[in-house]
Amino acid sequence: MTGRLSLLIRLGVRNVRRQRRRSFLTALAMGLGVAVLVFSRALGDGAHEDWIQAGVRLGTGHVAFQHPRFQASGKLEDRLSSEAVQTALTALELPEVREYVAAAASRVELQALANSATAAVPVAVAGIDPEAERHFSQLGDKLIDGRYLESGDRLHAYIGERLAKRLDLDVGSRLVLTGQDATGEIAGQFVRVVGIFRSGLPEADERVVHIPLETARTWLQVGDAVTTLGVLLESGWDVPEVVGRLRVQLVDDQDAVRVLGWREAMPELDAAIKIDDYGDYIFHVILFALVALAIVNTVLMSVMHRTREFGVLRALGLTKHQTAWIVFSEGLILTAVSGLVGMVVGFAFTWIFFRNGLDYSFAFEGDFEFSGVILDTIIIPEFRIMQVLQSLGSIFLVGVFASLYPAYRATRIDVAEAMKFEA
């Protein structure tokens, strides 16, 4: 049986080679389709990764540790005790988790009032660790005046441009933050503006204030506690894995620590990414449909063209089944070759021209906001093994299905009638 099969396949191969021009053209069409597919997937994945990165950096990271009630209440009383923080940090040190972690940052977060000589405005204060935050939210990168916080800073604040305007503050101005501390008392804290940022997100520019973590802790009398321990992973694709492992590790500490993935913490961003995926799927389906049609076209035509030949073969004893196999393998080979070529071309094209990113900023003035995140107008393509495998798999499937009909038609050739055909 195998011997027969390989014979059939060899026949298939030879048939493909015999019709070089036709095969070439088909391969070209398919190759183009596959190349486009690869290109759009790489860019699409890259864009999503960007969006997720941008979103989680300003939020709680890919993965976050919090008090179980904090997500709902947002109150200082629902904070992680220093023991809970230790537990979480230990969990992060696990070898099977650590390899995925890019950065971690502790924060003490509070809704407070910012007072200046001019006005008082409600703000979201975050006590942060400047070193960790540099890699995390990178809010320091949006600096427009002054500097970001540094370790050793104590009475310094980093505020948004709009807040600075409302309170009539410059770099160096004094600011008093008032809020309810851990004992329930209203406590004031003096800080000086050390830097001003513009993120492009009006909400952030009006409400976000960064102060040193220790300063926040002293002001609010929370000791070594934090409200959120945020974690950034090397890649957003690892989130489910990491969250799963952490939850297993921390199953006994569920009352004290809760592990959240960004999809839970930021459902808006989640939905937005999904809808974009949706658009991509549709586009890919269309591409595949076209590719499939191209295959059917070629293979079928070649079969019809060789009606007489198949007739002769059948007369010589080739079974229907075997005829079908020959045709089927022709289709598959065509698919395989053009698919591979297409993928290589696609990857090469994307890599050569766009590995530093596709810049579409010409299309926008100013910033583009999507679900509460400012997006960089440069998409850096992402190449993943999974992506490659998926693409290969889909192409293979398309090839299989597209070859089915011609193979079927080949079996329906009436031997006697076929003889009447011209070669």
Number of residues that bind other proteins (CB under 8 A): 74
Query: Which residue lies nearer to other proteins by CB, 229 or 375?
Result: 375
| Nearest distance in Å: CB 184, other proteins | 6
Report the 10 Å Cβ neighbour count for 396. 14
Q: Is the dihedral of CA 37, 40, 42, 45 positive or negative?
A: negative
Report the 10 Å Cβ neighbour count for 109. 20
CB 4 within 8 A of CB 12: no
Q: Is the dihedral of CA 67, 72, 76, 77 positive or negative?
A: negative
Report the 10 Å Cβ neighbour count for 84. 22
Interaction with other proteins in 320-349: which residues (CB under 8 A)? none
Q: Is 21 in the site for other proteins (CB under 8 A)?
A: yes
Find residue 80's DSSP bridge partners.
226
Interaction with other proteins in 91-130: which residues (CB under 8 A)? 111, 113, 115-122
Query: Which residue lies nearer to other proteins by CB, 286 or 348?
Result: 286
Q: End-to-end CA distance of the chain, in Å?
A: 30
- How far from 391 is each of 46, 144, 388, CA to CA, in Å? 16, 44, 5
x-or-dash string of contact with other proteins, 240-269, rule CB under 8 A: ---------------------------xx-
Query: Which residue lies nearer to other proteins by CB, 119 or 389?
Result: 119
Q: Is 81 in the site for other proteins (CB under 8 A)?
A: no
Query: Which residue lies nearer to other proteins by CB, 242 or 374?
Result: 374
Interaction with other proteins in 152-191: which residues (CB under 8 A)? 155, 166, 168-170, 172-176, 178, 180, 184-186, 188-190
Listing DSSP states for 147-198 in one string gives ----TT--SEEEEEHHHHHHTT--TT-EEEEEEE-TTS-EEEEEEEEEEEE-
Find residue 358's DSSP bridge partners.
379
Q: Is 26 in the site for other proteins (CB under 8 A)?
A: yes
| Nearest distance in Å: CB 202, other proteins | 10
Interaction with other proteins in 265-324: which residues (CB under 8 A)? 267-268, 270-272, 274-275, 278-279, 282-283, 286-287, 289-291, 293-294, 296-298, 300-301, 304-305
Per-residue tokens: 180 = 């309810």
Give CA–CA dist 400/419, Å, rounded.
29
Query: Which residue lies nearer to other proteins by CB, 282 or 348?
Result: 282
Interaction with other proteins in 360-399: which residues (CB under 8 A)? 360, 363-366, 368-372
